[in-house]
Each structure stands twice: as structure tokens, then as C-alpha cells.
Amino acid sequence: MTQRRSTSLGPGRMLGILGHPVAHSASPAMHNAAFAAQGMHALYGAFDVPPPQLEKAIAGIRTLGLLGVNVTIPHKEAVMAYLDEVAPTARQVGAVNTIVNRGGRLIGYNTDGWGFLLSLEERGVRVAGRSAVVLGAGGAARAVALHLGMAGAGRLTIINRSRSRAEFLAADLARAKNPVRAEVADPGSEEARAALSQAGLVVNCTPLGMDPDTESTPLEDVGLLPADAVVYDTIYRPLETRLLREARRRGLITINGVAMLVHQGACAWEYWFGRRGPVDVMRAAALAALEERP
């Protein structure tokens, strides 16, 4: 009599992403393709967790024996209160996007900034000494600005519609364990125009240009930028935002949010499995997933 092979993954082989909503996420396709390519018996799912249920969901990681999870909007900050430990860099960023379950002890990390820097390195973009402008003052902007400073960026300017939020972020960065000095400018101001005219790197960390509002842009005059500037948009839906389209037409180097998505995901593997995820496989799967969805 032939025995049927168990389809159970067993403890420590299940992972996933917590968010709300989360059905649109490309992460399951990206990680499951990587597992298959590496011959790993693991499974990654998407878990839609409304904010009031977050504490129970985190407790469920221990109860179910999940190896770990990624965390996305709107839980990156709130989740920190339910973890046993938060790594120093994640504490500085003020957000967690990766959780590891070590024998029931949940530890939070943030791989966004790390993935951002690796995606620049992949394109041969040197950060050290380069003047940078960050558009936005939310969680993504915090991670990007902190890591730009840590990587030795020259002049760093934060441009945001709410000056108070930008000033709060700049002050917070200055108090970090690895202090980062950032200037603040209002959109359209002389200070903003001056910073943009000298920028070697511009990073959009706002939702402007994201589906379905694809004609919005955080930067109305791309013509202000130097001819050798790099324009990076953390948005990956659509793959080419209006900002990137206009920058490309000017002949500037452009990078979309898929780069950061893939590299931060590959970095999460370092915490889960002790090795980097296969970037090329993950990129191909993420792009395929994004192209399948309208």
C-alpha cells in the first residue's frame, strides 16, 4: 500500500505578510517563487489584518509557529508595541517591516532602508557625497533619509507639504544614534528650488502618482534637476509614475519602487534563513504579479 506524503509544512516553514488591505501585495508571489527556485519547502501567504486585530495576529505568530512575517501599511509602527524586541535600526526608523520568531520570542527589524541602498548600489549609484532630496516626511521618508545620512550623503533636504512634519522628522534624525543632518524646505519655495537644482538624487516617498491617481506628481518641474540626477520613486504601482516618465524623457536615470520592494524582501531572508534571497528570481516574480493585476 502506497503511503501518501504529508502536505504539512510543519512548524517554522510558514511565513507571510500582515497588512490591511493586503490582497494587492506582490510579496507572496515574490517569496514563493524564491522558495521554489531554492528548493525550499516553505510557503508565504497574505494575511489581511484590520488594525483592531493586530495584537491577536501577532500572538498568532507564536501560537501557529510561523517562522516570521513581513509587515506593511498600516501596521509598521503599531506592531512595535507587541514585540519582545526591536532592533536598533528599526527603532531609529520608528517602524518594523520584518519579524522573526525565535523560539516564541518575536524580534522586529526594518529592511526598507537597507534594501533602498542596495537597489542604488545595483544601479551603480554612489550615495557618499551626493546631494539628496527626499520628498515626503512619513515612514518611508524616515527610513530613506536615515540610510542616506548613514551612507554619507552630502546635503540632505526634506521637502514636504506639511512643514511641521518635515521639521519633526529632521529633528528626530538629528537625535538618532547615528545623527543625520537634514534641511527642510516648502514645496515651490526658493529653498526647495535651490536644493533641487543641486540634487544628485531625488527620492519620492509620498503616495503622489500611485494608482489610481497616476497623473499626480510630487515634483511639478523636473527641469530643475541637473542632467546627471537620479530620480527614484518608491511607488511600484504603476511601474512608471508620471515623475519617472518625465525624468526619463529628460534623459535622467530613473528607478522605480520594485527595486526597493525586491531588495528589502531579499534582505528579510537574512533574518529568516541566514542568507540573502535570490534577487533576480524575486524581481521577475514581482513584476509578473504586478503586470497580472490591473
* Candidates 76, 130, 263, 283; catalytic one: 76
**Does residue 282 contact residue 262 with C-beta atoms inside 8 Å?**
yes
**Does residue 85 contact residue 109 with C-beta atoms inside 8 Å?**
no
Q: Give residue 52's Cα distance to chain centre.
A: 24
| 96, 269, 208, 286 alpha-carbon torsion, rounded to 10° | -150
Neighbouring C-alpha atoms within 13 Å toward the C-beta of 111 = 27
Per DSSP, which regions of the chain are E strands? 14-19, 43-48, 68-71, 85-86, 98-102, 105-109, 132-135, 156-159, 183-185, 201-204, 230-233, 253-255
| Residues 6 or more apart whose Cβ sits within 8 Å of residue 149 | 156, 173, 178, 179, 180, 181, 182
Return the exposure string of 33-43: e unless at least 16 CB atoms fall within 10 Å of the residue's CB, then b: bbbeeeeeebe
Is 76 marked active-site?
yes
* Residues forming the active site: 76
